[in-house]
Structure 1
């Protein structure tokens, strides 16, 4: 089960580019600290990427707070001209690969997303986009859009589990995206083979699966992800995001075991009492740590929980 440790960070700045939300925390374990990238919003509601650094023994202790946006928005008409959000980070030799979501607007539907990649040569403090275009976008496999992705390197293969929009549906005269989680592979982390294979399928009453986070333990792939209902998920707390769970022996074919996710909303009026989503699970000091968002899609910030194996397991940070 997950033991909640509380809120790590919420936006409180005078910067115009950093006015609200600390959404989709993406965690990188460094030698002496933890760096957490997140999406923040400016006065116009456009997301960009920033980061904080926290203590490895107590992630509530903030050691450094970035004071400028990590990226420029894409040129007019590109896939990331209206917003950028982090999604996953890995270390490749002496570089950091940061996979991110690009936002642009549409006329018939509110938005369209695609997956971009930026690479850092200075340990993750600054990044350069690999191209003006996305690495995964609309095509014959993805006719609508692709979103949050999570990448690992496993036996020399880059493996990705990503949000895949499979259609739009209209509720109360407003279009809503419906999306599941699909699987892709790559030899270099840049050019991807989109298999079209659905990793996690929607249950009948669900409308969205988001932010897969995968670890491999004892030859079993374990995934935590966000899940929501089809309608009224922004204001009805019963339909809002929760965290699901699945397991796989090959990383491709998965069995949902949502009852084993080990975490739910808090029972009181705390920052995560209405919604929990966007999990990011990593190992810190050989212990599993989950960063996640609470109420308001990150408006209340992000916090963390640690995995407790049993009642005798007290060695949690």
Structure 2
């Protein structure tokens, strides 16, 4: 099913929801604050029956703004610019018509224009159903040119046709350890109903050999009787140490466990989690372990609901008894790509500071979930600064691999180079897979 791709740049922030109409509860801004929007589309990416593309911006109490382009007279890169928009929310309608003026596709979103910030937003509109109908609009943030150079043959780890994981929706959330000349990866593999932790090895970090599942659900009486996920691993003194999430039939995120192994395959599992959920921390997931100067830093996610997640920190001298340092990162109000919280941190110490790559999510209220990856820094691992207003990684950055979400990275430094393995929701097939990039 072919997609229509749009790029947007604006003289302000633009926020887009998929298939939504804006509520009248939103406060109107000052009449003096304005911004502009430039819609850029690639003609070569549009289905051949589409001859005219039109945009319409609407807002209660303001004139309707329209523009259109006839594709037969346009170059491959086409721009439609709208200036002097009052900042705030505008309903957006995009239509694609054939040579007879019949609308073949119609998509809806809304745009929030904020004053004084320049950014870009990428929209991918996919036909839903068959024949003439609506469009499903995928919204991605950004987008200056990505800092990361994508591997051209992504994904580097995916489901094996006809194999044990062929029907798995998730091949996701990698954690990497390099021992000698060998890269070792543990990752989550499974479906929404159940996940396990799988293992793969590589001599170069790009070509991987899968070795199957190494940790799966425990017995019915165990605290992880419905699966495991979210591994984070370090290697020290000849022992692999893993912190992971246990899933229970009564709690999908039932605490963080600690396991050890001498070969990375056979693991000694705990009888109980080292960090358990509570009334104030109902769901615990997405741990990341870092050891610095003899202290273990464990960053992890507390989920209050699907609409609100925050990142917490605990410290330990032995990896099993933990001191709680509380919440260290939360969503920023007004940023659409962080609207449903921040979660699954990846933290490492590099160039004299702590660096965190974290995940965020938007649009869960509208049945379209898009995940992103943000970035921030810290001098002490507690207070986080230098946090850009746009994502570090999102779906458009992964091209030529076409994805709908890009997040859950794992990063290591080798000399002057940063190497990143990340999770992408591939468009075809519709499965989470693991990609690779460098900086």
Structure 1 length normalisation: TM-score?
A: 0.81
Q: Which structure has the bigger radius of gyration? A: 2
Equivalent residue, structure 2, for 1:154 = 292
1:208–1:230 contact (8 Å) kept in structure 2 = no
| Structure 1: unaligned runs, 5 residues or longer | 169-175, 308-317
Match of 2:157 among 3, 9, 14: 9
Question: Do the aligned partners of residues 160 and 267 (structure 1) sit closer, same or farther apart at CA in structure 2, a change above 3 Å counting?
Answer: closer
Q: 1:150-175: per-residue Cα shift (whole Å, max 9, x none)?
A: 1111111001111112x23xxxxxxx
Distance 1:272 1:252 in 2: 36
Shift in Å, 1:189: 0.9
Query: 2:261 aligned with 1:113, yes or no?
Result: no
Q: 1:236-263: per-residue Cα shift (whole Å, max 9, x none)?
A: 2xx5110100111100111251357543
Equivalent residue, structure 1, for 2:302 = 164
Distance 1:50 1:164 in 2: 24
1:63-82 equivalence runs, <5 A:
64-67=209-212, 69-82=213-226
Q: Which structure exhibits the higher relative contact order, with contacts defined as CA atoms closer than 8 Å and separated by 6 or more residues?
A: 1
Distance 1:81 1:119 in 2: 19
Distance 1:271 1:137 in 2: 38
Shift in Å, 1:284: 3.4
Question: Do the aligned partners of residues 156 and 272 (structure 1) sit closer, same or farther apart at CA in structure 2, a change above 3 Å counting?
Answer: farther
Shift in Å, 1:207: 1.3
Equivalent residue, structure 2, for 1:289 = 419
Question: Do the aligned partners of residues 276 and 94 (structure 1) sit closer, same or farther apart at CA in structure 2, a change above 3 Å counting?
Answer: same
Per the alignment, in what secondary structure is the counterpart of residue 364 of structure 2? coil
Shift in Å, 1:285: 4.9
Match of 1:103 among 244, 247, 258: 247
Per the alignment, in what secondary structure is the counterpart of residue 183 of structure 1? strand
1:51–1:66 contact (8 Å) kept in structure 2 = yes
Match of 2:352 among 219, 224, 227: 219
1:23–1:302 contact (8 Å) kept in structure 2 = yes
Query: 2:316 aligned with 1:186, yes or no?
Result: yes
2:176–2:183 contact (8 Å) kept in structure 1 = yes
Per the alignment, in what secondary structure is the counterpart of residue 112 of structure 1? coil
Distance 1:225 1:111 in 2: 21
Distance 2:229 2:253 in 1: 13
Shift in Å, 1:178: 2.1
Q: 1:101-122: per-residue Cα shift (whole Å, max 9, x none)?
A: 111233xxx7333111110122
Shift in Å, 1:38: 1.2
Equivalent residue, structure 1, for 2:434 = 302
Q: 1:262-302: per-residue Cα shift (whole Å, max 9, x none)?
A: 43212788655310111111123552111111116992310
Per the alignment, in what secondary structure is the counterpart of residue 133 of structure 1? coil
Distance 1:277 1:241 in 2: 6
Distance 1:268 1:99 in 2: 29
| Structure 2: unaligned runs, 5 residues or longer | 1-146
Cα RMSD for the two superposed structures: 2.6
Question: Do the aligned partners of residues 202 and 292 (structure 1) sit closer, same or farther apart at CA in structure 2, a change above 3 Å counting?
Answer: same
Equivalent residue, structure 2, for 1:312 = none
Shift in Å, 1:303: 0.6
1:37–1:50 contact (8 Å) kept in structure 2 = yes
Equivalent residue, structure 2, for 1:35 = 184
